[in-house]
Structure 1
Amino acid sequence: MVRLIALTFLCVWSTLGLARTADHPLLSRPEGATVVAHQQVTHERFEIPVGLPGSQLNLEFPVKTVVGNLTRHAYQVRGTSSLALYQTYSSQLTEAGFEVLFSCERDQCGDLRQVRALGANIAIGENLLGSWRQPYYLAAAHDTDVGTVHVGLFIGGKDGESVVHQAVIDPAQESLKLIKVDTSYLREAPATQAEEPEISESERARDHPLVSRYPGSRIRERRHRDYETFAVPVSAESRINSGMNFERLDLTGELTQHYYELDGVSSLQVYENYRSALDAADFEIIFECKLAECGNSSQARTLGAQVSPTGNVYNYYRKPYYLVGKRRTLSGPAYVALFVGGYRDSTAIQQVVIETREAEVDLVAVNPDLLLQELEEAGRASIYGIQFDTNKATVTQESKPALDSVGKLLKEQSKLELYVVGHTDDTGPVEHNLQLSQDRARAVVQRLVNDYGIDAKRLHAAGAGPYSPTANNATDEGREQNRRVELVKRLVQ
């Protein structure tokens, strides 16, 4: 006989978390059964068939989609018929107060193709282990104080033995605070980095400073380039046709890619944590697809490969989620692209962070709020819209829009005090660059005082010369980025 454990035990198990026990606490294994396969995944989306297709040519079953902690088993039972097992499960679940959502016996479950498709919905890896003869199917549900428990069973026989494919989905409370986006990073090298308590310091040091890893995940591959062009897929063309072409956004800047893997957590939970963290950090989601929206298996695999540091997601293209987020900064937009996919009870994350270095001068000129946001979050902001004559401290006329923004901000924030810091590249004598950066900072302060009526006591000029680069001085692009004026928020004395 199949023994059912009381539902009160189930509620305790759900709150204590997933323990890798041999059986689910709700259902014991049939007498004499051995475990052939076992899977546990937290916060998974699962589709339970609750009916039959409309015709024999159709393999699309009506399903009930549930989200919760998923536990699946495949039991091999010798000397017991699939009928005896089915009747035992059915009677025990009914006595325990479960509502039968759908059931079928033998020929009622459809032709051979439909029977196999039905069982594949419950079996781990869609593998029926050859057990599709004498089929029986049952889907049932039971309401509890913490949510609804769902059970799906497919029982089939072969060569004097039976195999039970069992799925139990327990209600799970959603946790969307496992990923942190540290907005202080968005302005060049923050002094300190916030860390998740579940992630060690040595692990966090290998992540990107902007985005922490999901707790428990491990790095399979990491790739970093100081300056590179990268094409990010930002279209849903694959959903419309059978091609592999995606509209792409060509970005240039500092590129960091990670390939993470973790066990026992669904792609859905990982994705929703990343999504929640990016939302909280005011990222604009410029493209997103979920599950079938990302295309068929080949298209999803191709999509993930385009953002993977290895150029391949291997088996991790199932149950895919993908997004591209953008957040404006004064030095240029920061982009995050994520592809999350699953395989069996494991999940992989392909993560791309691109910090572009095109100063949004026009945005800065008309939006002092963005300048204030940078100062509040990072304590400093680089202004690339302030230009000087070559090798001189003369502020050019092209600098007026950027100066207008700084002047407006200082007038609106009457208590704000700033260090105005000049920076140069590393060409030429150091002493000359230090003096040039100091003179340029003083020139900016003078313009703010004379043209905008700012109290000189609120501004302090300083020159850092080449000592604090933001990019590689070996390239023209890097040297251009290093020639800048930086505003640093000053503590009010």
Structure 2
Amino acid sequence: MFRSAVLTLLLVTAPMCAVAKSPDHPLLSRFPEARATNYQQVSFERFSLPTGLPPEEASMAFPELNLIGDMTRHTYRIRNTSTLKVYQNYKAAIERAGMNVLFECSLDECGNQRQIQDLGAKLAISNSVFTFWQKPYYLLAEADEGKAHVAVFIGGDDGETAVQQVIIEESQVRDDLIDIDMSYLERPRELNTEIAEVTPAQRARDHALLSRYPGARIRQRTHSEYEHFIIPVSVVSATRNVDEFEKIELTGELTRHFYELSKVSTLKVYRNYTSALAEAGFEVLYECSRDACGSSTEIRALGALIANTGNVYNYYRDPHYLVARRDTVKGHAYIALFIGEYRGDTAVQQAILEAGPTETGLVNVDSDLLHTELEESGKASIEGILFDTGKSTIKVESKAALESIAELLNDYPQLQLYVVGHTDDVGSPELNLRLSAARAESVVQTLVKDHGIAAARLHSAGMGPYAPLASNTTEEGRSMNRRVELVSRLP
């Protein structure tokens, strides 16, 4: 029979480091000098308390007692006191109160390290005992024929002891706390018909083809007259490896917007976009919503490939994704949209690529200017050497730039060079290092095989993302960082 209203851990009352917002439970006092580092109280909660060890040594599945009641949890810390002393005081208090011990374990009896940590985590408010798992003790007891249950996990680390304590009390739930006003159903519904207007100044910052959702504000806008761009048309892996998902590779004029808006669901925004695209005769090439877009990690990776910041941040919840295409007088127009939510706000990642023939002949590389740069600074960046995303094959548009490098080497026969490849920061560092090295080697091989330059005069190297010229948070910055440099090499 439960003999006392309070389980006192020691007969001598000692000073306590009480925390004002973390009172002790009336049933069970703390160990003297213990300080409460975490506290939780929940009315009428479901909770499971371990009642034994896993049946198999490698298993983490503890047999458990499933309870419903008023739950109170504490985490206490005690300096300069052993776990054994704390455990013996808990055990003695429970025995004096006449409580029934359902399960207990000590030291190695509580399992291997992983099982001990998991045992304590099941009681801990933070779901982890962190480093306080050494010299462990666990105790589960019931009082008054199950009307109250007490569980404690005691573990130590570096001379300090931590106690994870849970008390579950049988309680009756009140079910009369919510009212339903049936008269509401008889009243006419008042619809909010106020829709924000897109002002002419706002419309001027949108793409000419597609206006923003009313009330949306631009967080970032980027534009490139001629850009290579990959549009995913499948679930994207967390690594964003271009070889691991289906995609459309395009080149053309690229405009991207990052819009934010409040108090509008992702579904409503998505429906408005799909309606507008259908009315304009766009063909939907791919779309997905919510779980169909993958796991949360895959969803973030999908949106990141569309976002001009390279990141959707927290806006990946309740997602919708769409890729659509339409013919125009200038060629194909592609629209990719990623819509996600965070804490009631919605963000739209919008990319519009207008595919068309490239305008060439706009960049000239002067060999004398290259030589001057090499003399003055020891290096020179080369404009106009282009590669497909994620590949090291040199595109045909790079011919003029390569001819200028060959002319430089022919004009200065004593000149020796390092050809150094650089990438942006999209993808893993290891992948970018390999890619930059492969691109630099492609330039060397082209100069040797197609332009007759002696191989001994050239040495390739890759720096990956480690020497950027600009921030990788914008497309303009990433474009500047994807480059090939010539560096003077001593004979």
TM-score (norm 2): 0.43
Instruction: State the structure with more CA Rg.
Output: 2
TM-score by length of 1: 0.43
